[in-house]
């Protein structure tokens, strides 16, 4: 389909527009016995119907074609949502036949959370930041091979001083969901360092930063409660902290940081691993 090509047709700027007054109704062939006159179909109504169809064709990434009378059907068939694939590791995706638009959702990898180190009592690591999140509609062509990356979660901080690491970004064409920053280990002097910041995101119609990590909490200077890990935006909450002394733990949700380790007796523990990212592809 393509727009009208005819004698006395006009460009967009000179088109007729809908009247501001009147009640929206329906056309009639008329009835001479009533008498009810037949409806005179105004140009603006043709223009409106034409562009309603054209907008679907163009949104599907198709080029209007005067000789193809099935482009509206092709555009509708290419709308995303009927099929879903969830990717938890990096790889490639081949666009199926007759698909011109993909709906893609990304989470990056979360930052790792801190362990405890040193002999001080009441010390605790801080947690990593949650990953960024993005979602968008992407124009593609059938048979196109797309290489994508699923971000990995940051390593946990280890007892004895090995620091946690940041998560890495997930990417798919123009979409990027950044990884969360690392937390920090507890220190021999007791206080922990800074918590990890959340990852950023770009390229989509929805772009959200991950939630920042948390710092430690102590209960009356004796029993400790580990900090909660940063969440992967509003989609997944941060992991709940542990209760009392012990190692940190990871989250089962994509893009969410684990809890940090905490000690009230000077024992060293490992922190929680950051969760890896995820990509969801719909068409």
Provide DSSP, 50-62: HHHHHHHHHHTTP
CB 228 within 8 A of CB 129: no
Residue 36: DSSP 8-state: B
β-pairing, 206-208 vs 133-139, is antiparallel
How far does Cα 212 stand from its chain's mean position?
Answer: 17
pLDDT tens string 231-267: 455 555 555 555 567 788 888 889 998 888 877 777 8
Higher-scoring residue by pLDDT: 181, 117: 181
Percent of the chain that is helix, strand, coil (3-state, to 5): 10, 20, 70
Confidence of residue 216 (pLDDT cuts 50, 70, 90): low
Q: Which of 52-56, 81-85, 150-154, 170-174 has the lowest mean pLDDT?
A: 81-85
* Residue 178 three-state SS: coil
Q: What is the pTM of this model?
A: 0.70
Reply yes or no on whether the pLDDT at 81 is more than 80: no
Give per-residue burial for 142-171: e unless 16+ CB within 10 Å, then b.
eeeebebbbbbbbbbbbbeeebbbbbbbbb
* Burial environment of residue 52 by CB neighbours within 10 A (0 to 12, 13 to 18, 19 or more): exposed
Phi, then psi, of 181 in degrees rounded to 5: -75, 160
Contacts of 224 (CB under 8 A, 6+ apart): 122, 124, 216, 217, 218, 244, 245, 262, 263, 264
Residue 232: DSSP 8-state: S
Structural domain boundaries in the chain? 12-77, 78-283
pLDDT in the model for residue 247: 84
Mean residue pLDDT across the chain: 85
Distances (CA, A) of 165 to 114, 138, 161, 209: 9, 32, 12, 18
Reply yes or no on whether the pLDDT at 134 is more than 50: yes
Confidence of residue 145 (pLDDT cuts 50, 70, 90): very high
């Amino acid at each position: 389909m393509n727009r009208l090509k005819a004698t006395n047709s006009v460009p967009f700027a000179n088109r007729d527009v809908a009247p501001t007054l009147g009640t929206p109704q329906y056309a009639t062939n008329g009835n001479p016995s009533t008498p009810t006159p037949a409806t005179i179909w105004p140009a603006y109504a043709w223009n409106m119907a034409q562009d309603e169809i054209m907008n679907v064709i163009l949104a599907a990434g198709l080029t209007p074609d005067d000789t193809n009378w099935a482009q509206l059907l092709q555009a509708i068939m290419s709308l995303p949502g009927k099929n879903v694939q969830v990717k938890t590791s990096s790889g490639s995706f081949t666009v199926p036949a007759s698909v011109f638009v993909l709906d893609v959702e990304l989470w990056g990898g979360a930052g790792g959370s801190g362990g405890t180190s040193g002999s001080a009592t009441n010390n605790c690591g801080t947690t990593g930041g949650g990953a960024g999140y993005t979602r968008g509609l992407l124009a593609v062509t059938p048979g196109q091979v797309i290489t994508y990356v699923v971000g990995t979660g940051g390593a946990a901080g280890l007892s004895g001083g090995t620091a946690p690491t940041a998560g890495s970004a997930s990417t798919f064409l123009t979409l990027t969901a950044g990884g969360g920053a690392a937390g920090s280990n507890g220190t021999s002097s007791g206080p922990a360092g800074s918590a990890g910041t959340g990852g950023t995101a770009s390229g989509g119609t929805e772009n959200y930063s991950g939630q920042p990590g948390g710092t430690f909490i102590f209960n009356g200077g004796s029993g400790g409660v580990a900090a909660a890990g940063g969440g992967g935006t509003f989609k997944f909450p941060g992991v709940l902290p542990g209760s009392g002394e012990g190692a940190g733990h990871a989250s089962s949700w994509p893009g969410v940081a684990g809890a940090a380790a905490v000690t009230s007796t000077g024992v060293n523990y490992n922190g929680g691993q950051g969760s890896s990212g995820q990509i969801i592809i719909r068409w």
